[in-house]
Structure 1
Amino acid sequence: MEVADRAGEGFTYALTSDEDESDFWGFAQEARGLFIGGDDGFRQVELLGCSARGTLLTCLDRLGGRRARAGNAHLALLDARGRTMGSYFVNDLTATAAGPSPAEDGLLDVTVRLWCDELLPGSAWVWELLRRGELTRKGMWHPLSPEERRAWLSVALASRQYQRRDHPADSPPGRVFTLDGRQVVDADSFYCALGEAVNGPGGYFGWNLAAVDDCLRGGFGAMTPFTLEWRHSDLAKSRLAGDDRNPDAFFEVLLEIFRDRGVDVLLR
């Protein structure tokens, strides 16, 4: 869901109804608790410095009742110029409290309850790197824990169009991409490395095998045929072992996908 007007400058989030794109619910400067999941999948989020509009504003007059439920929405994350970096689909957003915000006259602090399984813990700092224009170096994902690497990939997926906004076309066929296998310790670290090899820092090129296959069909940064020079591939292969019955399963399926889609993999 693209937020195009300049009114978003100075805000970090924007909400728009899933049912009616003209029903804009407003902006917020912060969303405290957004990336903290609850035991039942729901989370309580404080929209701080909120400019409530549309259905959300109407719900604030109905707090405590069933009609305080606004419904499903698209939650956009904005850059410093108010442009959409990416968005999440959130379910059953319900207003539970509201009051004047100390951030600025005319703004509110609104508490809502919502459900979303895509807002992974550990994602907020990656979005902030992107927002500040600091996601510019390769390897920033190297020291992350397995959970943090998954969060990194989720942001790479959600922000892929924004990150490629200045060069949306695929690289032409025949390119050579270099993947360093020394940092590949599991499947998710491989996907981090592959996305970075093809699309640069924070880049996305799949976060499971089916998604890699989809990316190789075009529209995700590279047009086949191309060459993938996989350095330190033996080290990576030893860490990408599957189950005990077939420890090479992941590696073999991955190479089969590349071969079927016209990628020449050079194992170094």
Structure 2
Amino acid sequence: MAGNTPSDDQSDSSTGVTVKPVVNAIRILRFLTASGSPERAADIARELAINPSTCFNTLRTLVAEEMLDFDPLSKTYTTGLGLAKLVEHLVTQGQRLDVVRPLMQEFAAAHHVTVTLWRRMGNDRIVLVSSETSPGDLRIDMAIGQRLPVLMGASGRLFAGKLGLDDERLRAAFDKVRWARPLGFDDYRRQVADASGKGWAVDDGYFSAGILAIAAPVNDRAGTMAYAMSAVTFRGQHAEAEIEKLGQALRKAATKVGNILF
């Protein structure tokens, strides 16, 4: 039946929907990167078995987006500065995370906590990108790549204040989160406001029973919160005054992390 036939622009596969123009663009970028030499549009189209007209239009788009460079004299294409900058940015971020780790290790050892770094992924998730434990102490291990709802944990109190949600939408997102112990929305909202005022937040066993987490924002150069740096320990190990000092120390450390990452 005609209604079951994929269009020229997309096709179904075992992994979901494949958008053909995007696939063509990626194949062209891979080909030119592997080739390492200038290539003509006709040769690229023939090598990759892409319709010549489609290939030409894709190449023009990639040039316009600075992913490729076009030489009008030889009429050839090479990888562009935009692609190099994109790759450089990704590598640099990884290298900067490596530079941040000693600072996290130092904080973990000094305060006998596990230090984690969470990155915001869209409006609904955060992902763990780095974790350092205190040597000699009972460890709280968390897997790199772990994803959580953006509102969850101490970091969630910080991100919640940056999402720009009204009470109705915040309540809807809050109701989807499974808390380790009962937490009312009004209490959560007060904790979000308190975190915004202090510059750091606390989750006292709501994320995970028996676990106390303190978080501070890591901002980029524009002042936008891109990461949250958390100190994780067991409940009952710190008095309220000690938690206050730990929060202030974490806020200063998170500022240093932001200066390194951005």
TM (norm. structure 2) is: 0.28
TM (norm. structure 1) is: 0.27
Larger radius of gyration: 2
Structure 1 or 2: larger strand share? 1
